[in-house]
A = this chain, B = another copy of it.
């Protein structure tokens, strides 16, 4: 069927995304076809039969209303549209790989070879990527992840329940060795139509301190750093709103409820898409990201490998 023209009425713009986006297996298949240049080979790699692959690609084309691959007796190549779709598909698959790496670690099997404890921000944004890279070097290393606040992480490492910890904060936790593996800047963010977005000059710290913000609940590392940085300017005002998750905070800010201060790791995408705007502020809002381990016990084996990955 080189004619994708019996248009089984592509699904409209309503309803759940899942009805309009092919499933992960189909997207992976498409990537495999792009890479291998043949439906049959792609099928084999995915562990299905050639007709199944053929049918999957076809239903994907029906769903999207566009021909994705050019079949020929010598193999299959992507069409122009197919190349575009494949690149969008790759983003989904990469996000799924992050999910998978994180989820596997979260499963926290007792027989793990490497037990990692990490603060929420690191666990959420950085660790899965490190784990994917680690899998590239030590494919058979089972990793378990325990996420919690910095104090809890330090405690786990001290107790020997984790081989390696990752924390964010101003100071290294007491009683542990460690190394700075990166930095994290806190960004003052507002919705694009907020008055601050029209400022031409950096925000005075005192104004930031005096403004009620949307923040995570007490105890988060972000809030701690903010508190310390603004102590000299009258201290942090009573929050406008206290929410349980970083995501909830972001949503609130995006919908214009007020400003917030969040890790740049958490708002990168929103800033790029201009759903949020960062406001320069004349105070240093920076914290270290640290790997920590028990005093004197320099990491070895998988822990050492992971540590080396984090420092590039």
Contact = CB atoms under 8 A, between A and B. Distances in A.
B147 A100 contact: no
| Copies of this protein in the complex | 2
Contact of A21 (B47, B100, B128, B135): B100
A108 B10 CA distance: 11
A221 B239 CA distance: 49
Interface size class of A (residues with CB under 8 A): 35 or more
Interface string A78-94: 10110111111111111
A86 B247 contact: yes
Interface stretch (A11-19, A200-208, A281-289): A11-19
A65 interface: yes
Contacts of A218: none
A232 interface: no
A17 B96 contact: yes
Interface in A93-114: 93-100, 102-104, 106-108
A17 B24 contact: yes
A96 B92 contact: yes
Interface string A275-302: 1000000000000000000000000000
A273 B135 CA distance: 14
Interface in A1-51: 10, 13, 15-18, 20-21, 23-25, 28, 34, 46-47
Interface of A: 10, 13, 15-18, 20-21, 23-25, 28, 34, 46-47, 64-66, 78, 80-81, 83-100, 102-104, 106-108, 120, 123-124, 128-129, 132-133, 135, 147-148, 192, 244-247, 269, 272-275, 309, 312
6 closest Cβ pairs, A-B complex: A18-B25, A18-B24, A88-B99, A92-B95, A65-B107, A91-B95
